[in-house]
């Protein structure tokens, strides 16, 4: 009887930890990282303005913001999604096919089918996301390519 209660308490702790504590921790860490970045940028701006008071603060802030942004274009980000989707799809198939043929790697046939199915679904979701985003962002992709060609 005590073991049943202990098992239920463990399940409740795991669910609360996963559904409540983990998201709060992720948000807290993200906000802390952003605040640290802002502190560093303001410190850099302060030292630059102390050394050179003629400098335009708006220009310096623009350069600081440009350096922190990713240099990937929209098309490159979408192609990364296709790559991730293809890899997840292949890994899902690599796990799913042996389990469907009777080989067991993850403790039981059901576990392998479950894991392979999840990876297969994630891979398909990434690929579907690519095609939908490609159609919706066609104008932005073309404008970005024109802008990059003009800069060169």
Position 80 scores a pLDDT of 92
Asked if 76 and 93 touch (Cβ cutoff 8 Å), the reply is: no
Query: Using 50, 70 and 90 to split pLDDT, how confident is the model at 89?
Result: very high
Query: Using 50, 70 and 90 to split pLDDT, how confident is the model at 120?
Result: very high
pLDDT over threshold 60, residue 127: yes
Mean pLDDT of 61-83: 78
pLDDT over threshold 90, residue 14: no
Mean pLDDT, the chain, integer: 85
d(C-alpha 25, C-alpha 46), whole Å? 31
Domain segments of the chain: what residues? 1-69, 70-152
Mean pLDDT of 46-50: 85
SS (H, E, C) 118-145: HHHHHHHHHHHHHHHHHHHCHHHHHHHH
* C-alpha pair distances (Å), 147 with each of 7, 141, 151: 60, 10, 6
Mean pLDDT of 41-50: 85
* Lowest mean pLDDT segment, chosen from 26-35, 65-74, 141-150: 65-74
Mean pLDDT of 145-150: 87
Q: Where do the H-state alpha helices sit in the chain?
A: 2-16, 22-51, 57-68, 74-100, 109-136, 138-151
Query: Using 50, 70 and 90 to split pLDDT, how confident is the model at 90?
Result: very high
Mean pLDDT of 112-125: 90
Q: Which residues contact 98 (CB under 8 A, 6 or more apart)?
A: 105, 112
């Amino acid at each position: 009887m005590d073991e049943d209660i202990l098992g239920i308490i463990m399940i409740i702790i795991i669910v609360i930890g996963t559904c409540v504590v983990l998201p709060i921790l992720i948000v807290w860490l993200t906000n802390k990282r952003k605040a640290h970045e802002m502190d560093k940028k303001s410190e850099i701006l302060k030292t630059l303005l102390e050394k050179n008071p003629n400098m335009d603060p708006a220009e310096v802030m623009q350069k600081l913001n440009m350096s922190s942004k990713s240099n990937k274009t929209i098309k490159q980000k979408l192609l990364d999604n296709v790559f991730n989707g293809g890899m997840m799809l292949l890994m899902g198939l690599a796990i799913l096919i042996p389990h469907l043929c009777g080989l067991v790697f993850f403790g039981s046939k059901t576990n392998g089918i479950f894991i392979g199915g999840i990876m297969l679904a994630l891979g398909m979701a990434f690929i579907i996301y690519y095609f939908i985003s490609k159609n919706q962002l066609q104008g932005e992709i073309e404008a970005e390519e024109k802008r990059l060609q003009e800069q060169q």
